[in-house]
Structure 1
Amino acid sequence: MKNRIEVRDGLIMREIEVHEYKTIHKLVTKNKAYLSEFLPWAAFDTEPEDYIETLEEWKKGNGETGMMTLGVYHDNHLVGLCGFNTINRMNRSTEIGYWLAESHTGKGIMTDCVTKLVEYGYNILGLNRIAIIVDVENVSSIKIPERLGFVREVRMKDYFYRNERFYDGYLYRMTKLEWEALKK
């Protein structure tokens, strides 16, 4: 299967197949309250079939390298998503997005996934700059780029809209040279 990344024993990232539409629906529905605190799309009521078109779009986007959306599978169970929201091939840059089921937080899963995704971006896709943008109030999400040594570049005013108001976002960045220096 293309776009499969082995993260660690029992943890992989791979494309979500269209036939898994009921699985992703169930995961989002089960975590609706938790996810919708910072991801407004999670609060919408959906039917399992609503995910078919989304999964088809992700698969098409993954194939065109304009984006890369991967499911996070822990012990063969889908527990979240991690990927490149957009890949700017001209500038060799991208932005990472991620979310994880509440039951799997605090175990280093997303930190390990983001680490492997960054390595994939630099070593396989030939990227030079990777960014992560997080809501300034999302303390758990902020810990990931900070733990990995990303540089907080700027606070972006009114970047996120949720709960009928705007929230600032932090933009973190890592260049390939910075990443390589951290790994020495």
Structure 2
Amino acid sequence: MGMRLRRVNDADAAELPRVVTESLAHLRPWVSWVSDDYDASSVAGFPAASKVGWENGTLFNHAITVDGAVVGVAGADRAGDVVEIGSWLHPAHTGRGHTTRAVAELVEFAFGLGGVRRVQIWHDEANIASGGVARRLGFTETN
């Protein structure tokens, strides 16, 4: 079955807290939503918020799954004619191309929304792995 990307849904509320909390040390240097007081309850509303984002046409969160299990999230955040893509992956699943494949699918998805002029990936310049995803997919680096 391998890696698949699918829309975040209500059933993910049971699996996401474990995946996120197991990933906190890996994510802490790179993402602002990981704080010292982050715990499993912090992710509780994420599936519902994702549903609202889809309904509003502004935020399209996708679960990254491997053999049916959630191992991360990739999202496309739309503001007018620009879509920003962000992603994270459980550390046990890094280095296998999952993020690159997921982001490639999201780029195609974003341009399929209609009226999208640009897709961008923001990442910390010290995050070599995220920069590698963008380079492999042909993004142009800007400062």
Could you tell me the TM-score, scaled by structure 1's length?
A: 0.71
Deviates more, 1:34-43 or 1:46-55: 46-55
Aligned with 2:62 (options 46, 66, 70): 70
Deviations 1:83-136 (A, max 9, x none): 11x2123xx2211001111111110111011111111111x2022210111101
* Runs of 5+ unmatched residues, structure 1: 1-8, 155-184
Q: Percent identity?
A: 27
TM-superposed deviation, 1:36: 0.8
Matches within 5 A, 1:89-168: 89=80, 92-122=81-111, 124-126=112-114, 127-154=116-143
1:87 to 2:78 alignment: yes
Mapped partners of 1:22, 1:43: distance in 2: 21
The structure with the larger Rg is: 1
Question: In structure 1, what residue type is equivalent to 2:69?
Answer: H
Deviations 1:33-79 (A, max 9, x none): 11112124224444534423222111111121111111101110101
SS of residue paired to 2:132 = helix
Residue in 1 that maps onto 2:28:
36
The number of equivalent residue pairs is 142
Q: Does the Cα contact within 8 Å between 2:74 and 2:86 map onto a contact in 1? A: yes
TM-superposed deviation, 1:80: 0.5
RMSD between aligned residues: 1.7
* Runs of 5+ unmatched residues, structure 2: none
Residue in 2 that maps onto 1:56:
48
Q: Does the Cα contact within 8 Å between 1:22 and 1:48 map onto a contact in 2? A: no
Q: Does the Cα contact within 8 Å between 1:18 and 1:52 map onto a contact in 2? A: no
Q: Does the Cα contact within 8 Å between 1:21 and 1:48 map onto a contact in 2? A: no
Hey, which of these two has a bigger chunk of strand by percent?
A: 1
Mapped partners of 1:37, 1:88: distance in 2: 26
Q: Which has the higher contact order (CA 8 A, sep 6+)?
A: 2
SS of residue paired to 2:130 = helix
